[in-house]
Structure 1
Amino acid sequence: MNKTNLKIHPSVQSLKLSLPYADGGIKAGFPSPAQDYMESAIDLNKELIKHPASTFYGRVKGDSMIDANVHDGDILVIDKSLEPQNGDMAVCFIDGEFTIKYIRLEKDVIWLEPANENYEPIKVTIENDFLIWGIVTYCIQNKRRR
């Protein structure tokens, strides 16, 4: 089976770390002289986590979602309180292992679809021990490692 495994960690909301924040946005085109300074601060826990009691971090292991720009070593923010919707990137528990896949919900079947042509979709059947564990809301990447 084509799994992308995860190490799951709870989010810790008691920590507060405010970092300088370019509130006006960072231009991807020509730089603006008005952006020469940082005006405010941002707390990434507040920015990335909407439901603290049901949010976890997971570190990606594997390459089955590489065409969705999810790479080995990336950190996912996973919200267990969200209702799964067709096309969501989800962390699923299937037959004793975690995997990250897009979910395709059909009337009588669920498909787990990788984002890498080297892997086949997984058809979830009644024989599988299966749970949609949480929905991926953010992917945090180290852009320097590649």
Structure 2
Amino acid sequence: MSELVFYSPVKSSQLTKLPVFTCPVPAGFPSPADGQADEMLDLHQYLFKQPASTFMARVTGESMLGAGIHPDDFIVVNRAITPLDGHVVVAVVDGEHTVKRLRQEPGRTWLEAANDLDPPLELHEDCDLRIWGVVTHVIHPLFKKRAGAAWPGRSPRPTA
């Protein structure tokens, strides 16, 4: 099962509001943009709609790659949302934490990975299952920086 590292939400006073361009950014052909920020985005308000019931965790393992959740990603988890069939959840099964998709049918419950290498985890009556919350957001970089490496498109920093 995936191991999680838990983090408490940051107080909103510790966050900075970021500029957001309200013009749409198509994922297809380029379109001209005016380059002006039209509003400010408060990340705390966006990620933590219910701060008292929301926490963050860092994911390890590759069982949820097909759902866009990668090793070292941060997930935002809301404990106030009622988990339903198809939700990605943080679950504790027999004392072990995991991130999986909750699947439910009448008389049957299981946790499903989003990686063909990991079989579904069928939950029987003698299983101790606790759903800690529903994953609402995933935060991950599109590339990882290696020590001493330049970011793509940039020259390495000169050394003195």
**TM-score, scaled to structure 2:** 0.83
**Which residue number in structure 2 is paired with residue 118 of structure 1?**
117
Q: Secondary structure at the match of 2:136?
A: strand
**Which residue number in structure 2 is paired with residue 67 of structure 1?**
66
**Which residue number in structure 1 is paired with residue 55 of structure 2?**
56
**Which residue number in structure 1 is paired with residue 7 of structure 2?**
9
Q: Displacement of 1:41 after TM fit?
A: 1.3
- Structure 2 distance, partners of 1:33, 1:65, is 36
Task: List per-residue Cα deviations over 1:27-79 (Å, max 9, x = no partner).
Answer: 32344434322222111111122111000111110001111121101110100
Aligned residues: 144
Question: What is the RMSD computed on CA atoms of the aligned residues?
Answer: 1.6
Task: List per-residue Cα deviations over 1:90-121 (Å, max 9, x = no partner).
Answer: 11011111101111112223100001111111
| Contiguous gaps of at least 5 residues in structure 2 | 146-160
Q: Secondary structure at the match of 2:10?
A: coil
Q: Displacement of 1:128 after TM fit?
A: 1.7
Contact 2:54 2:79 in 1 (8 A): yes
Q: Displacement of 1:17 after TM fit?
A: 1.1
Q: Displacement of 1:13 after TM fit?
A: 2.9
Q: Secondary structure at the match of 1:112?
A: strand
| Compared CA separation, residues 39 and 112, structure 1 to 2 (3 A) | same
- Structure 2 distance, partners of 1:80, 1:115, is 22
1:18-33 equivalences under 5 Å are 18-33=17-32
After alignment, is 71-80 or 99-108 more displaced?
Answer: 99-108
Identity across aligned pairs (percent)?
Answer: 37
1:79 aligned to 2:60? no
| Compared CA separation, residues 99 and 27, structure 1 to 2 (3 A) | same
Q: Secondary structure at the match of 2:15?
A: coil
- Which of 1 and 2 has higher RCO (CA within 8 Å, sep 6+)? 1
- Structure 2 distance, partners of 1:90, 1:66, is 14
